[in-house]
Chains A and B, each alone.
Chain A
Amino acid sequence: MSDSPLRIVSSPTNQTEPPAGQSQSQPKQDEMAELRRLLLEPEQTQINNILERLNNPRVRARELSRTLPDAIRLRNAQDESLKDALGPTVVSAFHASVKKDPHPIAAAISPLMGPAIRRYIGVAISGLLQSFDQTLKYSLSWQGVKWRWEALTTGKRFGEVVLYHTLLYRVEQVFLIHKQTGLLLQHVAAPTAETQDADIVSGMMTAMKEAIGNFGRDSFGLQQGETIDTLDLGSEEVWFEAGPKAILAALIHGQAPQTLRQDLLAPTLEAIHIEQREALEQFDGDNSSFVATRPHLEACLQSRYQGLKDPAQFKVPVYVWLGLFVLLAALGTWVFFAWRDYSRWQAYLQRLQSEPGLVITETGKQNGKRVVAGLRDPLAADPNEILRRETQLDPNAVTGQWQPYQALEPKFILTRAQTLLDPPPGVTLSLENGALSARGTALTQWIAEARRFARALPGVTSFDDQQLINQDLQQNINLIEQTILRFNSGTTQLTGGQTQTVQSLLATMQQLIAQASAVQRVPHFELIGHTDTEGDESLNLKLSQERADRLLTMLSSKGINASLLAATGAGSQAPVRKESSSADKPFNRSVSFKITLRSLSQAGKERQ
């Protein structure tokens, strides 16, 4: 360090020393140093001390700590600038402390907050109860009207005005004071009373009592032993009741009757003297044992109001009862109508909920109207219609907000199928477990369309057309089954003039096969050979079979798939026409047709 004490002392030496011959100049140098030491030592020591104080932060802090309190006092006495300077720091430190850990601050202020809160609540509840009692009585009288006016003009609460006018007296605080020392043994206060530090008040009252006693003795010749028992403080009085060891001081607001002293204060003090005799005699400043006297003292916190001596005498006027009755009746009527309206509304909502195709998602009130919102299938019943027809609610007081949707109830699925598929007369639709069935007779085109669209309908899982009769198909089946191809007697030769019939038959069969295929069916043609009743039956049977076989071969050769054909001989046993005369016989020398429609799978199995 450039300003060290060593440097200051040694710098002249460095300047005067020759650069060479150091060994010779050594004694001289020592002498100079000794001389310097002798001449400058006290100042040097002082400089060292001052520098030490300046340079050592701990020393500076110690010195500052000695003068800081006085410095603060001095500055505070001069002006307010120290408070201004420290204010923000203290506030931010307070904030930081609370933010970091609020508990120490809370612990520090809780002794203040607790009593303050208790006191506030006590005052609020007590004030409420007192003013309620009084207000009930006086708000219904002429006097009450006057007091209400007073409250209005003075800005006070009506309850306060009533209490002010009706309060006879109230014992607000009671002090139990040690007679010898004037120290406070115990203190109680009414919840609404304003209290100061009871220890100080106790001392002041004792001093005042002493002073007035002295004054009385000096000025008016009051006898020794005679004491002051009342201090009049204007609207309040302090009553002293003195015993051998303790004094009871009661702070009373208003005018209390003298009987209070004889009937309450004196017996209380006596009881305390009896119970606390030892503690009173040995009192040495520790008042903890006098907590036990609190119940006695609290019993002295009495108050009296006008007109509340006998609450039984107070009767509520008839018009109050009448007013109360009218009020109750109005309330009852209102409740009844509100309840009836509510019941009707609930019944309407239940009715809507039970209606298929309506789903309620929200109910409530909007601008004084009841609102019901939800989903409605266009096929469902109209909620407004239900409202008008089935309820007694005012339609103008109800708003319905409905969004369209498709309901999946069977009723709606069927109705939608009915609308979309538009079945021809003779076809009926039915639905069971999602399976749509059609029954009746319809054209091929309708059946094909129905089959395609039915599956696209919401809620339909399958389409059953087993019971559906194809009208075109049936016509062709009938046409073929009515056809008879006749044969010459005893042969398998077709009689002449049937070429047109065969051509027509072939065309019809081809058409039938195509139509059946369109509805996933396969026609099965059974060719049944017949004979007349002439000749031996066994031969007839053979002939009939041969006729059928012959036609099968022919049809097959003309392009009809042989697998769709079957030939049987019926002989004369299954005549096409009953042989009543010989004119009927040619009809039985023939082949007739029997057609069955089979499903694709069935036909496939049979082919195998």
Chain B
Amino acid sequence: MIQKKICLLGAFAVGKTSLVARFVKSVYAEQYVTTVGVKVDKKALTLGDQEISLIIWDLAGEDEFQKVEMSYLRGAAGYLLVADGTRRSTLETARMLAQRVTETHGALPFVFLVNKSDLADDWEIDEQALAECTQAGWQVIKASAKNGTGVEEAFKLLAAQLCPQ
């Protein structure tokens, strides 16, 4: 079985840990627990006839006091860039993080996941903003860790790029 390290990057409280919990264990917890440092998890997937084991590094979110430590991305095959649809600022953070990753580790494959699609009415990131991302070559997926929409799709989309058939 092939193993691939992937990282989850994004601003704080965008739902990275919840996305991992939803993807790995199919659960969702209402209460928010902030991630300190890194949390590593694992999930096996089957893509076509190939089995792949994703070692998922869930990195602590970026805020004004704490920067994402880029050294955690060493050896990562790709990453999931996460933003919170209800907070416009998280899109900017995502853009900045993507740029820093490229600067430190080169152009790694990534998928941009906009979380909290279950709260669509409260979204600040509009379709135009998302269209700009798409135009920039990003793969954008709207998802919800709470109800599971788009989560597996996003992980599988990333995994497919890590081991092209």
Residue numbers of A with Cβ under 8 A of B are 69-70, 73, 77, 178, 180-184, 197, 199-200, 203-204, 207-208, 210-211, 214, 284-288
Contact = CB atoms under 8 A, between A and B. Distances in A.
A284 B41 CA distance: 19
B74 interface: yes
A287 B3 contact: yes
A199 B71 contact: no
Interface in B49-99: 52-53, 55, 57, 69, 71-72, 74-77
B3 A207 contact: no
Contacts of A286: 1-3
Given A210-B71, A214-B69, A199 B37 contact: no
B102 interface: no
Query: What DSSP secondary structure best describes chain A's contact surface?
Result: helix
A592 B5 CA distance: 146
Contacts of A287: 3
Given A181-B77, A286-B2, 8 more contacts: A73-B147, A181-B75, A181-B76, A182-B57, A208-B37, A211-B37, A211-B69, A214-B71
B3 to A, nearest CB: 5
A69 B148 contact: yes
A203 B148 contact: no
A183 B162 CA distance: 15
B72 A184 contact: no
Contacts of A285: 2-4, 52, 77, 163
Given A200-B41, A203-B55, A70 B75 contact: no
Contacts of B77: 181, 285
Contacts of A69: 148
Residue among A73, A178, A208 facing the most chain B CB atoms (10 A cut-off): A73
Given A184-B3, A207-B37, A197 B72 contact: no
Contacts of A181: 5, 74-77
B38 A199 contact: no
Given A70-B147, A285-B2, A207 B75 contact: no
Contacts of A183: 3, 5, 55, 75
A203 to B, nearest CB: 3
B129 interface: no
B156 interface: no
Contact of B53 (A199, A204, A211, A284): A199
Nearest to A178: B75
A204 B148 contact: no
Contacts of B74: 180-182, 210
Contacts of B53: 199
Contacts of B76: 181
